[in-house]
Structure 1
Amino acid sequence: MKARAITSEVLLGIAPIALLIGLWQAIDSFGYAPVTLLPPPGLVFARLLQQLTSSEFQQEIAATLFRLFAGFAIAVVFGVALGLAAAVSPATNAVVRPIVRVLAPLPKVALYPALLLLLGFGHESKITLVAADALFPILLSTYYGASMVEQKLIWSAMAAGTPRRQILFKVVLPAAMPSILTGCRIGLVISCIVVFLAEMITSTDGLGHLLVTAARTFQAVDMFVPLITISLLGLILNGLLQALRSYLLRGFPEV
């Protein structure tokens, strides 16, 4: 029964994508858009397969993934640490809360020109932008997850002899883990978007740079290849994070 449910879920997930590709093909077949601007999906996917065997294209993917992983890792470390600290310490909460209220709604890409001036045009500015954008959903999810831990769990741990200094890591953190991982999934999606956008604005490598270069030379097929690639990378990374979530939360009633 479980295998059948998983298969049904996969098929339901594939159906909208297949419908979108079919609509794309129909637009091309009926001539609603010029081929020079919207090439047929078959041509785009064939070009993608060709590019994936190219070492140059693999290096572009590696550059994008390096920036994505570095920024996302920084966001996870600081987001979880600040979220837990704000949840258990009223003094830290008093400091963090106004900062979050001011900076969370701010579009971080607006800070990118300043980051370029401070950190240069290399990896550092892009990694910082990714970390800044992914930080807040992780921080907020961690804070609310830790704040919602039932007090009776803490009392039970203390009654069982757990030292007070270990309550955070043995009780609060495990109980808040579902919320933390949800924030991480949101942060990962944001990281994929932001790193691609940063590379489009200013970069000499990466998938975003490839898209801008193809657009400037009116290479429509090559312009769609980076878009599909970053979408596939996001899909794969999200699937891996979901598998990690299922593993870490295997003792919970629902995953």
Structure 2
Amino acid sequence: MTPRILPSNVLLGIAPIVLVIAVWQGLVSFGFAPAVLLPPPGFVFSRLLQQLVTWTFQQEIAATLIRLFAGFAIAVVLGVSIGIAAAASPAIDAVVRPIVRVLAPLPKVALYPALLLLLGFGHGSKITLVAADALFPILLSTYYGASTVEQKLIWSAMAAGTPRYEVLFKVVLPAAMPSILTGCRIGLVISCIVVFLAEMITSTDGLGHALVTAARTFQAVDMFVPLITISLLGLILNALLGVVRSYLLRGFPEA
């Protein structure tokens, strides 16, 4: 990668964010939205900096991250395992395919009341909801990536005496890695959305709960702070996943 490409990509990535903030400021400045309901971005970011150094807000962030990471990790383990198993075994594929077709389009948030009754109002129900929502894009991407591995690579490995289970880890999994990581990136975005939504519906802590609490007391600035925070967390986590992707795919030409 040449030195000139990186700054251009960074600028192109920052430009939409700057545009959104400019439009936000323009709506307030020209009176299209009252400052009471849509506070200026300067007030919101100033309040965010104040909140970030408080122990209470740090606990809210920690609660959200615990649920997000736990649910996402479960989704990655299950999605990759089931996806590769379904691609490798026609029998497993025959069982998994109809289940995925039925459950993948289902809005998982509709199951949240049942999860609350089964797992309670703590971490368990929210982690399960995050895992259920993030699972299918990872599973489908893994299945697609493993299914499109060139058969001659598998035959060559088996002809060299590689055991079947080692072929999965040494040939199929590395070849499917670009597709798997794409599914993980989609699943991560979904995890951020779902954990925030679950905390808004019912929770005693977390960023979603902080937003609902501020809305109930008509504190518009404090209501926007959790929104900005979850957006920044999403950007940071997506960037970290991009670094991991570049490292894992360093041998691939497109990486």
TM-score when normalising by structure 2: 0.99
Q: Distance in 1 between matches of 2:235 and 2:46?
A: 19
Is 1:80 matched up with 2:90?
Answer: no
User: In 2, distance between residues paired with 1:32 and 1:136?
Assistant: 41
In structure 2, distance between residues paired with 1:26 and 1:164: 62
Inter-partner Cα distance in structure 1 for 2:92 and 2:156: 25
**Mind listing any 5+ residue stretches in structure 1 that lack a counterpart?**
none
Q: Does 1:92 align with 2:74?
A: no
CA distance in 2, matches of 1:139, 1:150: 19
1:84 and 1:53 map into 2 onto residues whose CA distance is 44
Map 1:115-130 to 2 at 5 A. Answer: 115-130=115-130
Amino acid at match of 1:88: A
CA distance, structure 1, for counterparts of residue 95 and residue 84 of structure 2: 13
Query: Which residue matches 2:209?
Result: 209
Identical columns (%): 84
CA distance, structure 2, for counterparts of residue 245 and residue 165 of structure 1 = 24
Matches within 5 A, 1:201-240: 201-240=201-240
Alignment of 1:172 onto 2:172: yes
Which residue in 2 is equivalent to 1:47? 47
Q: Offset at 1:97?
A: 0.4
Q: Output the aligned Cα RMSD.
A: 0.7
Matched residue, 1:142: 142
| Secondary structure, counterpart of 1:212 in structure 2 | helix
Q: Paired residue for 1:28?
A: 28
Residue identity matched to 1:190: I
Tell me the equivalent position of 2:249.
249
Specify the alignment match of 1:200 in structure 2: 200
- Pairing 1:185–2:172 present: no
Aligned residue-pair number: 255
Consecutive unaligned residues of structure 2, counting only runs of 5 or more, are none
Normalised by the length of structure 1, the TM-score is: 0.99
1:6 corresponds to which residue? 6
The amino acid that maps onto 1:208 is: G
Within a 5 Å distance, the mapping from 1:97-116 to structure 2 comes to 97-116=97-116
| TM-superposition CA deviations, 1:90-147 (whole Å, max 9, x none) | 1100110000000000000000000000100000000000000000000000000000
CA distance in 1, matches of 2:169, 2:59: 39
CA deviation after TM superposition for structure 1 residue 161, in Å: 2.6
Post-superposition shift, 1:163?
2.0
1:151 shift after superposition: 0.4
- Deviation string 1:163-183 (CA, Å, 9 cap, x unpaired) is 223111110000000000000
State the distance in 2 between where 1:161 and 1:253 align. Answer: 28
